[in-house]
Amino acid sequence: MSNDKPFEEAGSQPLPVLEYLQRMVGDTLRPEHTCHLRYPTAISRTLGMRLLAVAEGSATVEIDANAGVHGNRQGTVHGGFITELADAAIGTAHSTRVATGESFATIDLKVSFLRPVWSSTLRAVARPVHAGPTISHYHCEIWRGDTKLVATAVSAVMTLRGRQATGR
């Protein structure tokens, strides 16, 4: 299910982001359902990310990683690929807290890598550490399929309103 049109063009009342994503996860999203953000994102579709779970302020995202496709020169999955997974989970978590007409931007993102990945399904779980009205802080854990922790990420995200949110 793709939501490539902004809600103004879609011709129906947009759903709150959280409800839209919960319907996506529950496979109850219908073609007429829209929200003011684009889901799934283009990068998520390109990389094959899957949204597994979503609640207010939290999200779990999964992707199949293979060093033969996503590898670095050392022969393991590239850290940038793992970072993108963390950023997607954190962004999805934060999007559940923004209202229609609002948007958001990542202020910072720090990833600590703990062990390599060669081929595995990776699962990123993002949760808020502090959910403020403008600035929120998130923690994300990225796990391999063998339940070993691959990396952790921390991020600050700013909610944008009014003119700041226009076109974002």
* Residue 125 resides in a domain: yes
Residue 109 is part of which domain span?
7-165
* Whole-prediction pTM: 0.89
pLDDT tens per residue, range 30-41: 989 999 898 889
Cβ neighbours for 81, distance < 8 A, ≥ 6 positions apart: 47, 65, 70
Instruction: Let me know if residue 17 belongs to a domain.
Output: yes
DSSP assignment string, 47-94:
HT-EEEEEETTEEEEEEEEEHHHHB-TTSSB-HHHHHHHHHHHHHHHH
- CATH classification at residue 127: 3.10.129.10
Torsion of CA 118, 124, 129, 131, to 10 degrees: 140
On the question of a cis peptide bond just before residue 40, with omega within 30 degrees of 0, the verdict is yes
User: 1 lies in a domain?
Assistant: no
Structure tokens belonging to residue 140 = 């994300």
Q: Residue 156 domain-assigned?
A: yes
- Judge whether residue 7 has pLDDT over 60: no
**Mean pLDDT over the full length of the chain:** 91
Helix 79-95 and helix 17-25: axis angle, to 10°? 120
CA-to-CA dists, residue 44 to 92, 140, 154, angstroms: 11, 17, 20
Which parts of the chain are beta strand (E)?
A: 50-55, 58-66, 103-113, 119-131, 135-143, 149-160
Does 2 map to a domain? no
- As for how many domains the chain has, the answer is 1
Strand, coil or helix: what is 45? helix
pLDDT confidence of residue 163? 83
Q: What are 126-155's pLDDT values in tens digits?
A: 999 999 999 999 999 999 999 999 999 999
